[in-house]
Amino acid sequence: MASHSDYNGIKASAKDNVAGIYAYGQRQINRVVSSDTRQRAYGNAYNFAQEQPFLFAFILCQFIFSFLPILVFVSFSASTIAFALGAAVVFSLFWIGIALLVLVPILFFTCSIGVLVWIWAAGSFVIAKRLYEMSPIRARGDLEVDAPNGKTYAVTKREDGVHAQTYK
């Protein structure tokens, strides 16, 4: 059996814990509600209890017996909301993961096509530029060209490119 001093030690430890919890609660209440406001509320409640003792006792009994069911309901509601939010997050993450499994191969495919089109366009530009530079046309002055629309154009090749003007 445990000795009497062990019980006293446990009792003292429990009192210290309760005192610490009470002090913590008091500090939290002091942060939210000022001491003056609290004293006014206590004074109003005391005055109401003195002036209307039966009504005060009725309200107090209702509060005491209704507090626990209301507290259980509020905690149930909060836990239900938390569970629903958690389930929604998990559900969303699951479908986002599935969508990523589809998106990554599609992006790989489309990026590959984009690179191939860019290589084709850049290669075509370089080849066309080289062919233009190697073209044997070394005309001096204007070259007359008959267009399908019936007009005649004077085409001039210069260092900055080919220029076409309507011929007089």
Model-level pTM? 0.45
| Mean pLDDT taken over the chain | 87
Residue with tokens 């969508």: 99
d(CA 68, CA 65): 7
Q: Residue 167 has what pLDDT?
A: 67
pLDDT score of 6 more than 90: no
Q: 34 pLDDT exceeds 90?
A: no
Helix, strand, coil percentages, rounded to 5, for the chain: 75, 10, 15
Per-residue pLDDT for 82 more than 80?
yes
Point out which residues pair with 154 in neighbouring strands.
144, 165
Q: Name all contacts of 159-167 with Cβ < 8 Å and 24+ positions apart.
A: 167/142
Contact criterion met (CB below 8 Å) for 146 and 137: no
In the chain, the percentage of residues whose pLDDT exceeds 90 is 53
What are the C-alpha distances in Å from 71 to residues 56, 59, 68, 116? 21, 17, 5, 66
Per-residue pLDDT of 98-112, as tens digits, reads 999 999 999 999 999
pLDDT at 140: 57
Determine how many CB atoms are found less than 10 A away from the CB of residue 154: 15
pLDDT of residue 137: 62
Check residue 159 and give its pLDDT: 72
- In 3-state terms, what secondary structure has residue 159? coil
Closest alpha carbon to 151 in 136, 132, 168: 168
